[in-house]
Structure 1
Amino acid sequence: MSDLVRINYIDKDHDSIVSDVIAQIKAKYPDTWTDFEHDNAGRMLLEVHAYIIDLLLFYLDRQANECFLVTARERQKAINCCKAIGYVLSSAVPSKVTVKITLKQTVPSNVTINAGTELTTSEKIVFELDADVIILAGELNGFGTATQGKTYTEILGISDGSANQSFLISKTGVIDIKQISVGYEKWTEVESFAFASALSKNYTVEIDALGRGKIIFGDNRNGLIPTAGSMVKIVYRVGGGLKGNIVKNTLIKVNGTGYDANGQPVAVTVTNEEAATGGEDEETIAHARKWAPVTYSQQNRLVTEEDYTAAANSFADKGLGRFAKAKAIIHERSGEANVIRIYALCRDADGGFIAPSKALGDAFVSAIDDTKMITDHVEVTAGTYQSVDISGTVKMQPGYLKEEVLANLNENIEILFDMENREMGQSLRISDLYKALDSAPGVDWVELTTPQSTVTPVSEYDLLTLGNVNFEVS
């Protein structure tokens, strides 16, 4: 039987490694090495090796963690985990806004402002007209819609005729692929080649953690291979994010002109009488960690309130944006039909909540038409939100500065009210608030003035948000 000391494989930190190795040396060479003091050269080498082993074990554990969505921290690893269950992390999505185009004076013929004309704010945020805007003869104003982002045209490369070849788009922040052409022929995007035939002129799109788009073609079994020597060309859009949720009267410049019936240029101006809505930053890992497993469990069918809630929170439209928060509630139940109302909120450029646009709601209802119960009637309406003010007295521990303690308190409160941690209809328990405040570094004790008890939303679709924070620190 071996006389070596049994190694503890659970303790993998530096100090434990040093202790285990010393124990092994003492058991194996009791009379050879007896000096383990810190000024010993052998102890120095032992600790250097323990440091290296500690680092290796850390990175091994880190790599193992990245294999699972629940513990992944790197965005690309989360994208890969979600891909395995058919869930795609949403890239940033653009906002949409109604615009008013105005002539300096009336003209005797119709004036057309072409689709794709760029409209910009003073901060150089670019929108593009979705369709031609026509100002009728004798009128001063015309109306249309515009989507945030900028369109680019690029030659991706030349096909080499190989299977599963891919092309990387040069710009980051891709939000939409408008067109892929091989030679002079347009090809069609599909989610997967699983149902593509050998002759299907299809391609798929993958967006990586840096927002770079990759175009992938088939293998002549599932999806046609582009003919060798043919040019692959792309038209795509870049943009998206909360920054596109501009307030009203922010668009100030038309990067182009209108044209009358004779093709002559006519000067025009632009404004937006309503705020833009729907823009959202790229989906966070925390959001995907919460909703990807739920979406997978639905298996492309919507039956319960939870199914509809997950579908709404996972929905994104490339031209209309996505909901920031959503909750489904069944309002009417009968043997023949159910009425499911989706209460939803979007965000403005500062992260505040606003009502979703009707177009975004209609797009969601249309998107789930094939997966919902045939007897279910679904409608989208605006949710509500209620701000919670927090104030009180704080006694700080010795050795801390007042500003430092206040910063720690605010950080813990913001984590408690983080949008990923709160749902519509969720109460704020006073014990959770005290726990967040008491755990802030430098805090000895806290006495709250407001709130003094658990805060309950006024309805199932009401979201509690953070209001004013005011503490007296002594």
Structure 2
Amino acid sequence: MSWVGYKVRSAQQIFENLKSKISNPTSGLPEVTDYTESNSLIKELLIWSGIAEHLNYYIDFKARETFLIHQKLYKNAWAKAQEYDYRIKGVSAASGEVRFFINQSSLVDITIPYGTELESDLGEIVLTIESCIIYAGELYADCRVKQWVKKSNEVIGQSDGTANQSFVIASNVVDQSISLSAGSIPYETVESFVFSDSDDYHFRSTLNIDRDIIVELGDGINGKIPQSGDDITVDYYVSNGENIGIGRINKINTSPTLPTGIEISVSNIYEITGGGDREGLTDIQANIPKQNRTNNRAVSDQDYIDIAELYTGVELAGIGDKCGKTFKLYIYPEGGGIASQTLRDEVYNYFDDKRMNTSKLVVYSAGEVIVQYNVDVVVLNNFNQTATENNVISALLDYHSEIRKVGGVLRQGNIYQLIESVTGVDYCIINEIIAIPSPIPYDSSTPDISWDVQIDSSIISSTWKIKFDSTTGFKVFTGTQFIGSFQVGDVVEKHGLTFSILQNYQSGNTWTFNTYEVSTGLELDEPSVLNTNTASITLNMSGGI
């Protein structure tokens, strides 16, 4: 049996391997000279080789079956994370901006305090993460927010003085939002204890095998052990990890102090983005190699991309054109949409101890190009038309989740193959694939734009620029052509593109975006991500039952 190597799999390979070793004059069987099937030994070897091939098939199948089941379990990914000292991350809280309005101008400044509690129409609690001021004579002010709730001064356990203690908090804790003290001594959070000394007051938060957030303490060599009897006390935030659509935040639970006759309201004119669940199986499998490859040091373009994608709340990242030692990093938030300025600032700070001192970093939001489909779908006989339609929509949504990257490509042939592979579909005809652009701020001081936009089939492929020259006036360019000067609220219509800007901006604020001809596919020439949604998919169904 030792003569057959583990890589020798088929019956013919096994037999030839055995025959070559038998015929070896030194280590083989020199008395065997007849290698035809008339020799009973050779005939037995042929039979044994055939049996061995079938045994190999059986062993391979069972091994594959066992391996695949094991690899699809969260507990396996959790074990790998322990092996590679990877910190499994918790919930990501959505962030963005809201706008506070007053019914009439005030003679004094109105301050909206840090931690003002707001609420969405679905009961989601949102807190301001900065104080903001509606200045005297003004009617509104913008303020940054996060979808989270604070939990304070909770005792989660008591130290017993042993090494490597851990304490469970909850499942919906926002990643890296925990402040911890043992007794009266505050501890500092770290990604790993590798660089902790024996007298460093460090702790680490991660997920346990039950997917609850826990805090881990040191072993006395890497990280200080709290004294026996010390209470372990934490402050932290919890979140549901969901994004909040435009206009859904409309209730103020803790109203600021207002002058007589002044009423205040709130709304979010942009989506609150970047919310996400705890890391799961696929996240861990994707992120462990990124951490191991980069060692949390950003040198190359790919290092910047991988490290950015390791940050909680970032789904995708890409690098734009570099200018010398300046890296332009574009990030796309969990759940889609436009990355908030809060998330951009957090990612920038995340790179503080990871990039070279000689390199500069600017973090932008990647754009989001929404793909609109108009497709005729013919359903096979005896298949339910409505069920087939839902399956096609699900297939398109799943496909976009799989192909998403900064600067994506979409081939019409792949869409045909995708739709026609759905159970119940006879064939399809793609009428239109239209890309709806998302303007990208020219620099980090320019906010996201609020606009209404439509594209028709006469759209041209071009790069556009919108530049404000006053708080209400702006100019539009396409390529090297000047289109004209407009005011906020005007309808701009040119080359198949129709849009209007919905609010005022600062003079100098500039955005760029690309449009693409309606054709057989899309190849983005910009730092944006191809995405779609149910409202953007029009299926003209026929056939079936």
Scaled by the length of structure 1, the TM-score of the pair is 0.72
SS of the residue aligned with 1:417?
helix
* Counterpart contact for 1:392–1:471, Cα < 8 Å: yes
Aligned-residue identity in percent: 21
Distance in 2, matches of 1:389 and 1:106, equals 42
Gap change, CA 1:473 and 1:286, over 3 Å in 2 = farther
Distance in 2, matches of 1:386 and 1:100, equals 25
Counterpart in the other structure of 1:447? 429
* Aligned-pair CA distance for 1:203: 1.7
Q: Which runs of 5+ in 2 are unaligned?
A: 1-43, 434-517
Counterpart in the other structure of 2:330? 343
Counterpart in the other structure of 1:422? 404
Counterpart in the other structure of 1:163? 163
* Aligned-pair CA distance for 1:125: 0.9
* Counterpart contact for 1:326–1:343, Cα < 8 Å: yes
Distance in 1, matches of 2:139 and 2:527, equals 43
Q: 1:354-373 counterparts in 2 under 5 A?
A: 354=338, 356-373=339-356
SS of the residue aligned with 1:379?
strand
* Counterpart contact for 2:90–2:206, Cα < 8 Å: no
* Counterpart contact for 2:327–2:361, Cα < 8 Å: yes
* Counterpart contact for 2:389–2:541, Cα < 8 Å: no
Counterpart in the other structure of 1:271? 266
Gap change, CA 1:251 and 1:186, over 3 Å in 2 = farther
Counterpart in the other structure of 1:219? 219
SS of the residue aligned with 2:194?
helix
Counterpart in the other structure of 1:314? 310
Gap change, CA 1:440 and 1:277, over 3 Å in 2 = same
Give the one of 324, 343, 361 matched to 1:378.
361
1:152 aligns with 2:151: yes
Distance in 2, matches of 1:438 and 1:407, equals 14
Q: Which runs of 5+ in 1 are unaligned?
A: 17-53, 261-266, 317-321
Give the one of 508, 531, 544 matched to 1:465.
531
Q: 1:195-274 counterparts in 2 under 5 A?
A: 195-208=195-208, 211-243=211-243, 245-248=244-247, 250-255=249-254, 258=257, 269=264, 271-274=266-269
SS of the residue aligned with 1:77?
helix
* Aligned-pair CA distance for 1:470: 1.6
SS of the residue aligned with 1:434?
helix
Counterpart in the other structure of 1:40? none
Distance in 2, matches of 1:150 and 1:219, equals 32
* Aligned-pair CA distance for 1:289: 3.7
* Counterpart contact for 1:167–1:214, Cα < 8 Å: yes
* Counterpart contact for 1:174–1:213, Cα < 8 Å: no
SS of the residue aligned with 2:181?
strand
1:434 aligns with 2:416: yes
Amino acid at match of 1:473: S
* Counterpart contact for 1:395–1:446, Cα < 8 Å: yes
Root mean square deviation of aligned Cα: 4.0
* Counterpart contact for 1:112–1:133, Cα < 8 Å: yes
Gap change, CA 1:429 and 1:209, over 3 Å in 2 = farther
* Counterpart contact for 1:133–1:143, Cα < 8 Å: yes
Counterpart in the other structure of 1:128? 127
Q: 1:96-111 counterparts in 2 under 5 A?
A: 96-99=95-98
* Counterpart contact for 1:176–1:238, Cα < 8 Å: no
* Counterpart contact for 1:361–1:379, Cα < 8 Å: no
Give the one of 55, 64, 68 matched to 2:67.
64
Gap change, CA 1:315 and 1:171, over 3 Å in 2 = closer
* Aligned-pair CA distance for 1:341: 1.8
* Counterpart contact for 1:438–1:445, Cα < 8 Å: yes
* Aligned-pair CA distance for 1:465: 2.3
Distance in 2, matches of 1:113 and 1:388, equals 39
Counterpart in the other structure of 1:391? 374
Distance in 2, matches of 1:89 and 1:104, equals 47
Count of equivalent residues: 407
Amino acid at match of 2:159: S
Counterpart in the other structure of 1:408? 391
Distance in 2, matches of 1:246 and 1:145, equals 15
Q: For residues 28-49 of structure 1, what are the alpha-carbon distances to aligned partners after superposition, in whole Å with 9 as ceiling and x for unaligned? A: xxxxxxxxxxxxxxxxxxxxxx
Gap change, CA 1:249 and 1:432, over 3 Å in 2 = closer
1:353 aligns with 2:337: yes
* Counterpart contact for 1:92–1:241, Cα < 8 Å: yes
Distance in 2, matches of 1:450 and 1:103, equals 45
SS of the residue aligned with 1:428?
strand
Distance in 2, matches of 1:430 and 1:460, equals 20
Q: For residues 339-378 of structure 1, what are the alpha-carbon distances to aligned partners after superposition, in whole Å with 9 as ceiling and x for unaligned? A: 322233336xxx5522x23333233233224333444332
Counterpart in the other structure of 1:45? none
SS of the residue aligned with 1:193?
coil
Scaled by the length of structure 2, the TM-score of the pair is 0.63
Q: 1:70-89 counterparts in 2 under 5 A?
A: 72-89=71-88
Counterpart in the other structure of 1:327? 318
